[in-house]
Amino acid sequence: MNRSQFMKGFGLSASALLIAPNTILGQEDKPAPYQKDIVQQFVGAGHSNLGKVKELLAEFPNLIYSSHDWGNGDFETAIGAGGHVGYKEMVNFLIDAGARPTLHALTMLGKTELIKPIIEAYPQMVHTLGPHGFTFLHHAQKGKEDAAELLAYFESKGLKETKVAIK
């Protein structure tokens, strides 16, 4: 390749970057974020309205990954909502639909075989808060008989509070 050919090739490449830099560099234009009210509806429905969750997911499939900021860093997902109110059918539906499970929601479901090894490996996590400041103890209580073993486990770890104020 001579200098003339190189310069022509370079010029074409540089022009392409100016015209469509995101496409050339593998960064296609991203769609706009979901409107805050849509996310809030979805997360709100995660507390008690499986029909509404299914309806919104049909229209906006990626809501499954969204979280709503209630303020002061209190972020909540639909799976987090279902977890802290003890809505097992909701949490299981969302997991089956591809939601990212949380340790708190899995505690409510009584998934001892998943939760205990993580807490044993990272003991400081016993104080990790779920949405609205709800603790693992709260989630284990909401899980009732399914989470009885985890309830005893978290009590043995010294947990007494079911909710801690988010500062």
* Domains recognised in the chain with CATH numbers: 36-156 (1.25.40)
Asked if pLDDT for residue 14 goes beyond 70, the answer is no
pLDDT at 3: 56
Residue 134 to residues 9, 29, 40, 47, 83, Cα–Cα distance (Å): 60, 38, 19, 14, 10
Length of the chain: 167
Q: Could you tell me if 150 and 110 are in contact, meaning their C-beta atoms sit under 8 angstroms apart?
A: yes
pLDDT at 136: 98
Q: For 16-67, what is each residue's pLDDT tens digit? A: 555 555 555 556 788 899 999 999 999 999 999 999 999 999 999 999 999 9
**Confidence band of 166 (pLDDT split at 50, 70, 90):** confident
Q: For 89-106, what is each residue's pLDDT tens digit? A: 999 999 999 999 999 999
For 53, the enclosing helix (H) or strand (E) is: helix 50-59
